[in-house]
Amino acid sequence: MLNNAASGSEAGQEAAAGEGVFAQLSGLMNPKSVAVVGASNRSEGWSGMAVPVLRRLGFAGRIFPVNPKYEELNDLKCYPSVSAIPEPVDAVLIFVPQKLLPDILEDCGRKGVRGAVILASGFSETGEEGRAMEETLREIANRNRIAICGPNCLGLANLDSGFMGLTAATFPEDMSAGRTALISQSGQLLMVLLARAHDQGVRMRYLVSTGNELNVEAADYASWALDDPEIASVCMNLEGLRTPSRFLALAEKAQAVEKPLIVLKLGRSKRAARTALAHTGKMAGAFRTYEAVFRQNNVVSVDDPMELAEAAALFEKCPAPRGERIAVVTFSGGWSGVMADQCEALDLPMADFTEKTVEGLRPLLDFTPPVNPLDLSGNVNNHPERWGQSLKIALDDENTDILVVFIHQVRESWRGRLIGPVLELSEMADKPIIVVYDGGKVVEAGYEQLARDGRLPIYRGSQQMLKALKRFTDYHKRAKRPADHGAGPQIPADAGARVDALLAGGGRTMAEDVAKQALLAYGLPMVGEALVGSEAEALQAAEAIGYPVVLKGLADGMEHKSDAGLVHLKLGDGDAVRRAYADLAGKLAGHTLNGKPAPCLVQKMVGGGVEVILGMQNDPDFGPMILVGVGGVMTELLNDVALRRAPLSRTDVAEMIDETRLGRLLAGYRGSPVADRAALEDAVLRLSALSVAHADAIESIDINPVLVLPEGDGCVAVDALIVKPEDEA
């Protein structure tokens, strides 16, 4: 539905236009008066239903039917045009064919309309003719500062005010306003998500189907919703971003106001990298890049539509947890074991009950131990009063941050005994309480009772509950991170000019020695080396550098030298250098490097250390993305890397390292010496600075491996590749 993101000047123009209409969003999202263009007396179809639905939902503003065919509709005066309405009009719902839209929008502009919902399809999603019509509408809307929802959408709704400009076949029976906004680039998914949210007992406040996003994007609606003090979270279903900078600004705003963005990003298949020359390009796929940006900006990323509603339930109904330790109360030994296993698999810690809690629980248990998960067993049936007492003791434990209550298959007559105490406890609790009401259709009435009540998040199964809970606790943990005020490394004053001069050289890929000069300009440590063109020069360089050495062949089209057999390691004397040089000379015969005979590179052989890959991929949406992970020849096979958007903070770098196996390797895995992590972090920050400063001239960077030596000895880059954009080569 949504086109690919605009780029360059086009993106800038769209961003500017969006800023111009953002001030009009209140007229679109919370209008005080609505005109229905194309209103009719048909009992079926939204042209006839729009006015009755607005009345039924309690819309308190003025409603103006517009259609020259009628003098009156639904007991309201009907006007021949929007401009004929004698009162101000904030928003317009447009139910007319595509060909009439330009004239109607011009008429809305003359009237001073602030927002319009265009439901019609047949625009850029259909081809060039439709794209041209869409551009015409965009020009009219931007010139008249009209915020447009659509075209090719289902519309939008403000359930708090009763404004319903959303057209769909079915709606949940209860359309009362809640504390969640739901914004979707897919109209049908919006309705599925709405239905699922209602099943969870989550009520929406704002609903938006964004369609083709003529001049208002998903991020704009979300930003507007965040300004509402009643909003607890904003849920988004995204197919793509027309203007990524607007989403980044939204994420920053969400963090500032401490309200989560919960995002389902579609399109998770790997995007072919623009270049296959760098490991980084192969590993930094489209969805991986989005996930990195989400994590860096504390956006809650979910995997499927159901999980969106399941996560939203926690943010709407639960206070922020003090920590992530879970206490579980159930009356099934089997479910106790299931929860223990699932929590461990998701790295969710379980609380250890204090001695005070243990002593308080003992009199309430017949034969089960007073441990977490807490199995009350037959006590639920024989001593129903113990249920509420046990719940309170478990919740009050100082080690309990979150209480999870399991209700299973029980007699219908016992339902109140179980639900009542949980709801009573929720009234006084300052910790999250979550209910899993599991047992299929036999106990469906109990689940629905809790969902209708709406005070507690409720789930039909433990796995989906725990997955949502993990998103919830991770968000709050990241929100508590201290601000990163640490100064970055000192970059030499002439670094930018030196790299610009090196980038001005020919060829799409920079020779390894030249790439290393560029990295060295920003202070990244390099292994000692020398470029040679003869056996005699190779021997002389090896003596000067000191044995053992490495000998590499450099040639265009052979960027990954190991794969081409162009690397000889551990050369300990002159004879070894001669043999290696003879082998490389034969393999390089007839090859060139930037128009000159292919040379060799003599390097100091550095032993030991942890092998790391550092890289940068210039993403078309988000710019330079920095990659850190386990390096060496197994890099792509292991694919154990982390990504973040540059510029990086020290906190970003530390998190990237700890996301991968590097954290453990650097700490001295299985008796190996502790590696110089600080030196690696410094190198990553220097790569970030280089990548930002030269983003327009560099497509990707690979530094693989970087050897991180024992603590205090620093790190050195052994191999490097810099690729320029094709149009820059």
362-388 pLDDT per residue, tens: 999 988 999 999 998 877 777 888 999
DSSP code of 16? Answer: H
Contact, 243 vs 220, CB < 8 A? no
Tokens describing residue 425: 């406890």
| DSSP code per residue over 102-149 | HHHHHHHHHHT--EEEE----STTT-HHHHHHHHHHHHHHHHTT-EEE
3-state secondary structure of 601: strand
What's the CA gap between 526 and 516, in Å, rounded?
A: 7
Q: How confident is the model at residue 307 (pLDDT cuts 50, 70, 90)?
A: very high
| CATH, range 19-165 | 3.40.50.720
The kind and range of the H/E element at 95 are none
The kind and range of the H/E element at 361 are helix 355-361
pLDDT of residue 221: 97
Topology of domain 529-601 in CATH is: Dna Ligase; domain 1 (3.30.1490)
What's the CA gap between 126 and 120, in Å, rounded?
A: 12
Contact, 689 vs 653, CB < 8 A? no
pTM (predicted TM-score): 0.89
Tokens describing residue 475: 């968000």
Of residues 121 and 8, the one with the higher pLDDT is 121
Tokens describing residue 521: 């300009």
CA 278 to chain centre: 24
User: Which phi-psi region, left, alpha or beta, contains residue 693 (left: φ > 0; alpha: ψ -120 to 50)?
Assistant: alpha
pLDDT of residue 589: 92
Q: How confident is the model at residue 285 (pLDDT cuts 50, 70, 90)?
A: low
For 377-417, write each residue's pLDDT tens digit: 877 777 888 999 999 999 999 999 999 999 876 666 677 78
Topology of domain 168-317 in CATH is: Rossmann fold (3.40.50)
3-state secondary structure of 559: coil
Contact, 243 vs 11, CB < 8 A? yes
Return the domain boundaries, the chain: 19-165, 168-317, 323-477, 529-601, 610-723
| DSSP code per residue over 214-264 | SS--HHHHHHHHHT-TT--EEEEEES--SSHHHHHHHHHHHHHHT--EEEE
Contact, 437 vs 458, CB < 8 A? yes
Residues in the chain: 729
In the predicted model, is pLDDT for residue 633 greater than 60? yes
Q: What is the CA radius of gyration of the chain?
A: 31
Q: How confident is the model at residue 278 (pLDDT cuts 50, 70, 90)?
A: very low
Residue of 290, 307, 285 whose CA lies nearest to 197: 307
pLDDT of residue 413: 67
Q: How confident is the model at residue 272 (pLDDT cuts 50, 70, 90)?
A: very low
In the predicted model, is pLDDT for residue 9 greater than 60? no
In the predicted model, is pLDDT for residue 11 greater than 50? no
Contact, 357 vs 312, CB < 8 A? no
For 12-60, write each residue's pLDDT tens digit: 444 444 456 778 899 999 999 999 999 999 878 889 999 999 999 999 9
Identify the weakest region by mean pLDDT among 65-79, 378-392, 587-601: 378-392
What's the CA gap between 365 and 700, in Å, rounded?
A: 63
Helix, strand, coil content of the chain in percent (nearest 5): 40, 20, 40
The kind and range of the H/E element at 65 are strand 62-66
Which runs of E-coded beta strand occur in 554-599? Answer: 567-571, 592-593, 596-597
In the predicted model, is pLDDT for residue 290 greater than 60? yes
Q: How confident is the model at residue 282 (pLDDT cuts 50, 70, 90)?
A: very low
Phi, psi of 186 (to 5 degrees): -110, 125
The domain covering 323-477 belongs, at the CATH homologous superfamily level, to Succinyl-CoA synthetase domains (3.40.50.261)
The domain covering 610-723 belongs, at the CATH homologous superfamily level, to ATP-grasp fold, B domain (3.30.470.20)
Identify the weakest region by mean pLDDT among 42-46, 325-329, 542-546, 652-656: 42-46
Tokens describing residue 366: 């017949």
Tokens describing residue 390: 């046990």
